[in-house]
Amino acid sequence: QIRIAKEFIKFNERCFVRLLGDMRSYNYVVDITPDIEGSQFRMRAIDFDQQSFEGRKSFYLPQYFKENNPIIFLGMKHMRQETVKQYQLEERSLIAARVKTSGVQFTGLMEVMVQDELSTEEKIGQLKEELAYHHKNSLFHKCKTMGEIVLTNIQLLLQKDFKQSILYEE
């Protein structure tokens, strides 16, 4: 139970960083890998039609979908806030390492996303305001496209001491 809750915290981070929305329990799968200590769990999205489109910040946090409540309640039952923070920071470090090692592919993807029209002006405006408030960072106000918002979100993650947006503090 604790391993599933731990993986959900990490999944929540991955979705929020890349702005992958609508991750209700039927839009992702759980890969189970047996190992010596039991089983390892990895949640993977299977529905990508809501990536970087919606204007509400909460849409990009799987923790806010009632369909995920059983996993949320597991985490609340078995984990302290310090543990949740630790898992979030651990996942952010892994994401940062992936971004740094992917170089050309990441840069190419971001160039396309920044130029593409992924969402409406209204939703872009709403999301950049909500993320600026959430992260306490005005960089989002300069964003003109959803791709710029995603890039800014990832750039914040790459900052060494970035610790905003922990799961239970809002």
What is the spatial distance between Cα 36 and Cα 138, in angstroms, rounded to a whole number?
Answer: 47
Prediction pTM value: 0.84
pLDDT at site 157: 84
Domain holding 107, by residue range, is 2-158
Residue 51, in any domain of the structure: yes
Residue 48, in any domain of the structure: yes
Q: Is the pLDDT of residue 92 over 70?
A: yes
Residue 53, in any domain of the structure: yes
pLDDT at site 51: 85
Residue 73, in any domain of the structure: yes
User: Does residue 128 contact residue 140 with C-beta atoms inside 8 Å?
Assistant: yes
**Residue 36 confidence class, pLDDT cut points 50, 70, 90:** confident
Q: Which of 9-23, 37-51, 126-140 has the lowest mean pLDDT?
A: 37-51
Residue count (the chain): 170
What is the spatial distance between Cα 87 and Cα 106, in angstroms, rounded to a whole number?
Answer: 24
**Residue 124 confidence class, pLDDT cut points 50, 70, 90:** very high
Average predicted confidence (pLDDT) for the chain: 88
Residue 23, in any domain of the structure: yes
Contacts of 110 (CB under 8 A, 6+ apart): 147, 150, 151, 154
Domain count for the chain: 1
What is the spatial distance between Cα 149 and Cα 131, in angstroms, rounded to a whole number?
Answer: 9
User: Does residue 40 contact residue 3 with C-beta atoms inside 8 Å?
Assistant: yes
Q: Which two tokens stand for residue 42?
A: 């990895």
Residue that is written with structure tokens 């329990």 in the block: 25
User: In 3D, which of 66, 63, 46, 77 has the Cα closest to residue 11?
Assistant: 63
Residue 27, in any domain of the structure: yes
pLDDT at site 20: 87
Residue 170, in any domain of the structure: no
Residue 80, in any domain of the structure: yes
pLDDT at site 170: 39
Please indicate whether residue 170 or residue 143 has the higher confidence score (pLDDT): 143
